[in-house]
Amino acid sequence: MTEDIILANALLILPTEVIPGALQIKGGKITALDSGTALPPGAVDCEGDYLAPGLIELHTDNLERHIQPRPKVDWPHHAAILAHDAELASVGITTVFDAMRVGSIPTGVGRYSKYARGLANELLSLRAEEALKISHFLHLRAEVCSETLEEEMEQFGPSDRVGIVSLMDHTPGQRQFRDLTKLEEYMKGKHALTDAEFAEHVAQLKALRAAHGDRHEAAAVAHAARYGAVLASHDDTTAEQVAVSGGYGIRLAEFPTTVEAASTCHAHDISVIMGAPNLIRGGSHSGNVAAGELADLGFLDILSSDYVPSALLLGAVQLGARWGDMARGLATVTANPARAVGLSDRGQLAVNARADLIRFRLRSGAPALRGVWSQGARVA
């Protein structure tokens, strides 16, 4: 239920500064902002805690993890979606672009089936029933090394809340897995492939890229325009790859793997998304460029929790400490992602913005959440 309340005696994280102040929520929106430490009658005393906009997550595999918690385990979907939604609310995420793969490989050693259209239907039905705590959009991960990409993308349309389409090219030996030993380690660890099966998997993906890759890229770009979705690239490695992204009209670069790619993205006015787990761990698990290095060079614009939802707020706070600017750190998970996908109604504390809010304090440098609101309703 939406609350009409005043949250006072807080540290308000605004787009460019942090100030002591209070804000008022009415009808699911922020209706007033005031500076100072005064505690109006009836207000909630935030005891000096931070108040920030709710976090905006553009790329997370968390829904897929709930749907398939183990290889070959298909968990009941409605229960998985509700658990995913509640988990994100609990860590301060109030807007999420749920990543779903489109493009399957029904044959061969690395085969996997299509699932996105059915899962999207289930997610959207729960949203229509107002069963979800936070705001959900779709992020279609278009796998160009696949057999069914075009037919799967045909099944989506402008009414499906597809906010992002990312071009995924997992051809072995380039982008994320330039180092084939890293890919081998990943595939054998996750799918228990033998040497022969791994070799077959590599050969199959290379053959699919040669047969369908260019056509699939063009189709994904065209469908993104039909949906009204923002285009993203994935794992750009070279300046040449970024130039191709720029030609497609891509405005988001997910997880560039080199400084060269990230710097070229900025030259093309493409926002760079890096994984919060990479930042927190101090490096990439795939052996690619460290998020911290890009942050120090000024090439990191947006954080994604990727595979650890709780990493999003922790990563933003760590960036705030790294840069000596908490407002700048939190902008990587609020204002910057909102702007990148055209959501003008959220992402900052401002009058008439959605009352998507988080309240937290720091304990030994780590954020401890003390409240989460989505459109003025307390959800955690």
The tokens describing 346, both together, are: 């959220």
User: Cα 43 vs. chain centroid, distance in angstroms?
Assistant: 34
Span 261-274, pLDDT tens digits: 999 999 999 999 99
* DSSP class per residue in 245-302: HHHHT--EEES-SSHHHHHHHHHTT-EEEEEHHHHHHTS-TTS---HHHHHHHT---E
Please report the pLDDT score of residue 210 as a whole number.
73
Between CA 5 and CA 12, with CA 9 as vertex, the angle to 5 degrees is 85
Helices (H), 53-115: 62-67, 77-90
Question: Does pLDDT of 188 surpass 60?
Answer: no
Question: Does pLDDT of 80 surpass 90?
Answer: yes
Mean pLDDT, rounded, for 86-103: 97
Mean pLDDT, rounded, for 66-93: 95
Q: Where are the domains of the chain?
A: 1-53+346-380, 55-345
The tokens describing 82, both together, are: 């509700």
Please report the pLDDT score of residue 193 as a whole number.
67
Q: How confident is the model at residue 43 (pLDDT cuts 50, 70, 90)?
A: very high
Angstrom distance (rounded) from CA 216 to CA 210:
11
User: CATH classification of 1-53+346-380 is 3.40.50.880, yes or no?
Assistant: no
Task: Tell me the CATH number for domain 55-345.
Answer: 3.20.20.140
Cα distances (Å, whole numbers) of residue 207 to 108, 235, 279, 310? 12, 20, 35, 38
Beta strands in 89-229 (DSSP E): 93-102, 135-143, 162-168
Q: How confident is the model at residue 92 (pLDDT cuts 50, 70, 90)?
A: very high
Span 307-343, pLDDT tens digits: 999 999 999 999 999 999 999 999 999 999 999 999 9
Question: Does pLDDT of 178 surpass 70?
Answer: no
Q: How confident is the model at residue 282 (pLDDT cuts 50, 70, 90)?
A: very high
pLDDT-wise least confident of 34-43, 202-211, 225-234, 316-325: 202-211
Span 2-13, pLDDT tens digits: 779 999 999 999
Angstrom distance (rounded) from CA 138 to CA 96:
8
The tokens describing 379, both together, are: 């959800």
Q: Which has the closest alpha carbon to 379: 82, 80, 9, 40?
A: 82
Question: Does pLDDT of 66 surpass 70?
Answer: yes
Mean pLDDT of the chain: 91
SS3 (DSSP) at 9: strand
Largest pairwise CA distance in the chain: 72
User: Cα 353 vs. chain centroid, distance in angstroms?
Assistant: 21
